[in-house]
């Protein structure tokens, strides 16, 4: 059986309870919730019943245990998560502006997640991995970038494949070497999963159509552009497929892109054609925005099929 793995930050998220709440004054907060883009991704893969594993570091604390126990419960293989003594699990505080935009305060670069290095990337840690997924948000230090390169080379060396979600937050772009590292990873990428505005970020071309052609020319085999409520678009060397978004109420957008990407990659890895994978991924993203909490919106196939069936009924009526 295929095994999908990822590597990177494992965090807790603590969120403002009210839209428009400011972190410059006291207010009611909710959490801790299990979080971290790679962790959400891999949780979604496991929820679909596929083999899934993550390499990462947590502190020797309850925030770390909360994550490990949650991932385990959902079926993720957690043996490659290191508990780093004398370190604390990373955290993110998030508040939602009135217009729906989010602001984050991260404690990642001083957390256990920053301890991740090439030492964590071994044959044993990557045991059975046939597909490796990279989140751009994980590439916040040279040590981690080196570790990521090692993992890519090991997985590719044994005939595996790689997917990449640039997942860039504005805070990340302050790191000057980021673009170079992202370009390097792109050269090994089989499946690229940018958000709409990220398509041109790593290309020379300034518009989406030309950027897509340029990226396919680099050797990327499939590009899936995530478009929020508008759905998604798929591109390969011979076709384009657009899938409109499903009609759902958005209560918390965090994690939608991760659930979408996980579902797309898992379906493709397990032999489903692009159109099927896009339908399920779209449903996974739609279900994720309907739940409060970054990892609370992961879904199994029963839930995805139920949403898709419900939407077909709505259209028929």
Q: Which residues bind ligand ATP (CB under 6 A)?
A: 167, 195, 226-229, 231-232, 245-246, 248, 250, 253-258, 260, 282, 285-286, 289
Determine phi and psi for 44, rounding to 5 degrees.
-65, -40
Query: For residues 270 and 43, what is the distance between their CA atoms, to the nearest angstrom?
Result: 17
Q: Which is nearer to Mg ion, 82 or 167 (CB)?
A: 167
Q: Which does 299 bind (CB under 5 to 8 A by kind): ligand ATP, Mg ion, none?
A: none
Question: In terms of Cα–Cα distance, which of 84, 25, 44 is closest to 260?
Answer: 44
Q: Which does 308 bind (CB under 5 to 8 A by kind): Mg ion, ligand ATP, none?
A: none
Q: Which is nearer to ligand ATP, 139 or 256 (CB)?
A: 256
Long-range contacts from 119-125, C-beta under 8 angstroms, 24+ separation: 120/7, 120/55, 120/56, 120/57, 120/80, 120/82, 120/147, 121/7, 121/55, 121/147, 121/150, 121/151, 121/154, 123/154, 124/80, 125/55, 125/80
Q: Which is nearer to ligand ATP, 129 or 295 (CB)?
A: 295
Name the site residues for Mg ion (rule: CB under 5 A): 167, 195, 257
Q: Which is nearer to Mg ion, 201 or 248 (CB)?
A: 201
Q: Shortest distance, CB of residue 147 to ligand ATP, whole angstroms? A: 22
Q: Which is nearer to Mg ion, 167 or 263 (CB)?
A: 167
Q: Shortest distance, CB of residue 288 to ligand ATP, whole angstroms? A: 6
Q: Which does 151 bind (CB under 5 to 8 A by kind): Mg ion, ligand ATP, none?
A: none
Exposed, middle or buried, 227 (CB in 10 Å: 0-12/13-18/19+)? Answer: middle
Q: Shortest distance, CB of residue 158 to Mg ion, whole angstroms? A: 28
Check if the beta carbon of residue 161 is closer than 8 Å to that of residue 130: yes
């Amino acid at each position: 059986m295929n095994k999908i793995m990822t590597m990177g930050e494992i965090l807790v998220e603590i969120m403002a309870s009210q839209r428009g709440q400011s972190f410059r004054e006291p207010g009611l907060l909710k959490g801790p919730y299990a979080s971290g883009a790679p962790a959400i991704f891999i949780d979604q893969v496991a929820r679909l019943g596929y083999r899934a594993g993550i390499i990462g570091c947590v502190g020797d604390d309850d925030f770390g245990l909360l994550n490990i126990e949650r991932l385990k419960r959902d079926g993720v293989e957690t043996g490659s998560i290191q508990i780093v003594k004398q370190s604390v699990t990373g955290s993110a505080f998030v508040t939602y502006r009135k217009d729906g935009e989010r602001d984050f305060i991260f404690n990642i670069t001083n957390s256990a997640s920053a301890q991740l290095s090439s030492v964590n990337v071994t044959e044993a840690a990557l045991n059975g991995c046939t597909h490796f997924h990279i989140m751009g948000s994980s590439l916040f230090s040279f040590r981690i970038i080196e570790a990521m390169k090692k993992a890519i080379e090991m997985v590719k060396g044994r005939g595996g494949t790689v997917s990449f979600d640039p997942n860039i937050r504005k805070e990340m772009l302050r790191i000057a070497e980021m673009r170079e590292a992202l370009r390097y990873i792109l050269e090994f990428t089989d499946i690229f999963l940018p958000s709409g505005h990220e398509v041109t970020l790593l290309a020379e071309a300034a518009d989406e159509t030309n950027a897509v052609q340029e990226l396919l020319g680099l050797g990327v085999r499939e590009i899936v552009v995530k478009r929020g409520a508008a759905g998604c678009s798929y591109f390969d060397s011979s076709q384009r497929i657009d899938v409109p978004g499903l009609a759902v109420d958005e209560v918390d957008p965090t994690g939608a892109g991760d659930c979408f990407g996980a579902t797309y990659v898992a379906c493709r890895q397990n032999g489903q054609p692009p159109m099927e994978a896009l339908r399920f991924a779209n449903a996974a993203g739609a279900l994720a925005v309907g739940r409060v909490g970054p990892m609370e919106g992961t879904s199994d196939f029963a839930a995805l099929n139920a949403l898709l069936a419900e939407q077909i009924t709505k259209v028929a009526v």
